[in-house]
Amino acid sequence: MDENRWFWNLIQNDFKTGNTDLEGCMRLLEKMQIPFDEDHLKHIFRRTLDKHLGDVISMDDFRAIYRALVHRPEYEELFRAYSSDGVILTDTQLIKFLVKEQFQTEVDETTALEIIMKYEPIDEVRKKRQMSFEGFIRYMRSDECSIFKIQHRTIYQDMNQPLCDYFISSSHNTYLIADQLMGPSHLWGYTSALLKGCRCLEIDCWDGTNNEPIVYHGHTLTSKIPFRSVIHVIDKYAFMSSAYPLVLSLENHCSPKQQEVMAHYLKSILGDKLLSSPIGGEVDMTRLPSPEALKFKVLIKNKKAGTIEESMLRMYDDDTGETEELSDSEFLSEDEDTDDTLPLHRSKSSTKRRADGRSSAPPQKKPKVKRGKIALALSDLVVYTKSQKFVSFEHSLMNQQCYENNSIGEAQARKLVRHSAKDFISHTTRFITRIYPKGTRMSSSNYNPQEFWNVGCQMVALNFQTPGTQMELQDGKFLDNGGCGYVLKPDFLRDRNTTFTPQNVGRYSKPMSLSIRLISGHQLPPSSLSKTNKADPKVQIEIFGVPEDQARKKSSVVKSNALSPKWNETFSFNIQVPELAMIRFCVEDEVSLVNNEFLGQFTLPVMSLNTGYRNIPLLSKEGIKLESASLFAHIWYY
């Protein structure tokens, strides 16, 4: 095998003058499909130039740079452990590595040959059914050696269960791309959410001029966009990332006249995509259809005309006969988030009775809003996702239909998790339940979605425009099942007779002992606070799940090395309910003892963890993949 000849053949056309500069170096690496961080490359290039006069390097210098980026010692150790001569791996040796180190017990000669053919770049080595170190590097850097199970990158779950049996990727105030007080409303909010596989979008609808409904955050200074434009964007991107049903959650503040306009746009723009009658013409709606049955369909979530709630839009005090004033968040639209600690029952007195049983002062007077009814044209478009005011679990059990959905604000939902978890889970086995952030989150911050997934809430709606750990959990959870936006809930959150609660997992515990040896990092983002390309990186590994599974462990700090830090530290976790657990790897630069700078993270379901030697890709704060940056770890569990 002449590895040198292969390398020179690859690059010689780019070295006709015998030397190359930094730009040429970048072009060559791109041609060779070697990901690199520009800051790191400049640093290595400058270090190489220190040996010469001028600003160009030779072919030998380029090969040294290539090796510094690609020939990682941790890969070399593994390769030499299985190669008898340290130069090539035979197919038999590769099988041995896959079985012993990667825990791929069912591999055979065919599997080994497929890997060799796919990743070995040197022709004469490939023809001999062998693998060089160059091929081994390419294999180890591939998606096949990612920490995220390759099987989970496609749709592998049963998609024929009723809609209420799935966690559904859901967005709150989807039209906003900044804060919810003065930020811009923008069509990009809908485009980006749909491209991320979101399957429940929120549209706040208000009367606009010239009988054109508008979308914005009511009673605030957020800008306005036409409802018609929103539906056009949804029509274009609805099924680009997922074929499974898309729910439009309407927060409807429009008059009947403009609701008719909304209905017209929904029908004329969405056309056949819009679901306006039960599938198969079924009359008996005692069970929700499945995501599979609703493929490529858009569902409208709104109230229906002629319901009890509509008749309650005007309430009369028994003593005075005067119309009672209702906040915008009551009865007309239960999704409005101006006050998510509303009472479950109204009191005749001027003192409101809060959900926790204590009294509070009467609210400030709001201008009386003339209430309109739900327009029949819009009402007729609501089939399986009818909005239903949540009163109590008991009330839902006695009165609610399977196609009626509840929206509950985070504060009230948190109290219900704390005090009525068993009833909450029983409720979510039957009815789709949407959780939304409280109105006091003026900066569009997010709550921790995990606590509501733990009780089976299907639509845990977050502000997609706001980066942070909460959105990282959201993105990580819905990486699963091919990123289609629907993840089948564990059996114990679908069984109507379940006794599971997050606080008392009981017989539903399936303990997992997880061991992670954090080996190294590669081309980590340089610190923005450093004058060189260096950082002082450390890694935090967190488990999110039921209360018993909350855990956080930190590595040591590696000083002044963002290019190739080494840790070789092992962390162990005991996880009681792995089916609900998420794991987050976060890399930070320790700027000082009290101040850390975020460098990158990756979050995924514990059940999606691959065993063996694995690369952990890193994402930016905005959720964008940092192409060249990764961690390297050995994962093992039983």
Average confidence score pLDDT of the chain: 87
DSSP H helical ranges for 32-149: 38-49, 59-70, 73-82, 91-100, 109-119, 123-127, 133-140
pLDDT tens digits along 103-152: 998 899 999 999 999 999 999 999 999 999 999 999 999 999 999 999 99
pLDDT tens digits along 37-64: 888 888 888 888 777 667 888 888 888 8
Across residues 8-14, what is the average pLDDT? 76
Q: Classify residue 388 by burial, with Cβ atoms within 10 Å: 0-12, 13-18, 19+.
A: buried
Does residue 358 register a pLDDT over 60?
A: no
Does residue 359 register a pLDDT over 90?
A: no
pLDDT tens digits along 145-170: 999 999 999 999 999 999 999 999 99
Q: Which of 238, 164, 168, 251 is nearest to 206 (CA)?
A: 251
Cα-based distances in Å from 96 to 140, 233, 259, 576: 15, 52, 66, 32
- 8 Å CB contact between 387 and 301: yes
Q: Which of 453, 456, 452 is nearest to 426 (CA)?
A: 456
Q: Which of 335, 314, 312, 438 is nearest to 390 (CA)?
A: 335
Q: Could you tell me the pLDDT band of residue 474, with boundaries at 50, 70 and 90?
A: very high
Q: Could you tell me the pLDDT band of residue 2, with boundaries at 50, 70 and 90?
A: low
DSSP 615-632: EEEEE-TTS-EEEEEEEE
pLDDT tens digits along 262-313: 999 999 999 999 999 998 776 667 899 999 999 999 999 999 987 655 544 4
* Residue 411: per-residue pLDDT: 96
Percent of the chain with pLDDT over 70: 87
At what angle are helices 3-11 and 59-70 packed, to 10 degrees?
Answer: 110
* Residue 531: per-residue pLDDT: 56
* Residue 308: per-residue pLDDT: 54
Least confident of 9-13, 442-446, 464-468: 9-13
The reply to whether 172 belongs to the active site is: yes
* Residue 327: per-residue pLDDT: 31
β-partners of residue 300 are 248
Does residue 455 register a pLDDT over 50?
A: yes
Least confident of 406-410, 441-445, 479-483: 441-445
Does residue 11 register a pLDDT over 90?
A: no
* Residue 283: per-residue pLDDT: 62
Least confident of 12-21, 217-226, 360-369, 605-614: 360-369
Which helix (H) or strand (E) segment holds residue 357: the answer is: none
Task: Name which residue leads in pLDDT, 60 or 593.
Answer: 60
DSSP H helical ranges for 174-255: 188-195, 227-237
Q: Could you tell me the pLDDT band of residue 331, with boundaries at 50, 70 and 90?
A: very low
Phi-psi region of 338 (alpha: psi -120 to 50; beta: other; left: phi over 0): alpha
Record the tokens describing residue 445, joined without a space: 């911050």
Domains for the chain: give ranges and CATH numbers: 3-70 (no CATH), 73-145 (1.10.238.10), 165-304+371-493 (3.20.20.190), 509-637 (2.60.40.150)
Q: Could you tell me the pLDDT band of residue 182, with boundaries at 50, 70 and 90?
A: confident
Does residue 240 register a pLDDT over 90?
A: yes
Does residue 535 register a pLDDT over 60?
A: yes
Catalytic annotation, pick one of 43, 71, 186, 217: 217
Phi-psi region of 523 (alpha: psi -120 to 50; beta: other; left: phi over 0): left
DSSP H helical ranges for 219-295: 227-237, 256-270
Does residue 332 register a pLDDT over 50?
A: no
Across residues 172-201, what is the average pLDDT? 91
Which pTM was predicted? 0.88
* Residue 282: per-residue pLDDT: 67
Q: Which of 362, 97, 124 is nearest to 115 (CA)?
A: 97
Catalytic annotation, pick one of 152, 172, 253, 522: 172
